[in-house]
Amino acid sequence: MTDNTASITRAVVEAIEKQAAAARPTECCGLLSGANGLITGLHPLRNMAEQPEISYFAAPEDLFEAMVGIRESGRKLLGIYHSHPKTAAYPSPKDVEMAFYPEAVYFIISFEPRIELRAFRIEDSRIENVAINLIADEGAARRE
């Protein structure tokens, strides 16, 4: 637990918002990649959860493909995002249980009571707030 700030481009945030809005009433999910601590790419994943309205479980083949793509492009996995169509932007007990990547920042976007994007680190069942540092874009977000 070192850096409590996550830098992300505005284009990536807008792409998350778009994907999350289109997925309603179900949750959407995906990976975020970049270099030097700046998130510049997003990798949407299909949500295969049994109850996709209240949880997410990334399709394993999507996850595998995204991870290979990130590695081959020389970038790093920096974040994981999903949406909460009906609840606040805070990790659910299940989100905490399923947080397998302590090095990643977990982004959650909520729609109710209002659109809000928040970020957290989740390690050993502890939730820590992460400040989001919005970066003006150099070109469009890469969607892969």
Specify whether the backbone of 36 is left (phi greater than 0), alpha (psi in -120 to 50) or beta. Answer: left
Size of the site for Zn ion (CB under 5 A): 2
Residues contacting 73, CB < 8 A, separation 6+: 33, 41
Min CB(106)–Zn ion separation in Å:
9
* Residue 87 binds Zn ion (CB under 5 A): no
Listed ranges 7-15, 31-39, 89-97, 129-137: which one lies at the site for Zn ion (CB under 5 A): 89-97
* Residue 95 binds Zn ion (CB under 5 A): yes
Min CB(94)–Zn ion separation in Å:
7
Min CB(108)–Zn ion separation in Å:
6
Listed ranges 1-9, 86-94, 121-129, 136-144: which one lies at the site for Zn ion (CB under 5 A): 86-94
Closer CB to Zn ion, 11 or 29, in the complex: 29
Residues contacting 121, CB < 8 A, separation 6+: 1, 4, 102, 105, 106, 127, 128, 130
The CA–CA distances, whole Å, from 61 to 55, 67, 76 equal: 18, 10, 19
| Helix extents (H) in the chain | 10-23, 60-72, 93-97
**Torsion sign across C-alpha atoms 52, 27, 92, 60:** positive
The residue from 17, 48, 69, 92 that contacts Zn ion (CB under 5 A) is 92
Closer CB to Zn ion, 40 or 83, in the complex: 83
Min CB(59)–Zn ion separation in Å:
17
**Interface contacts to Zn ion, rule CB under 5 A:** 92, 95
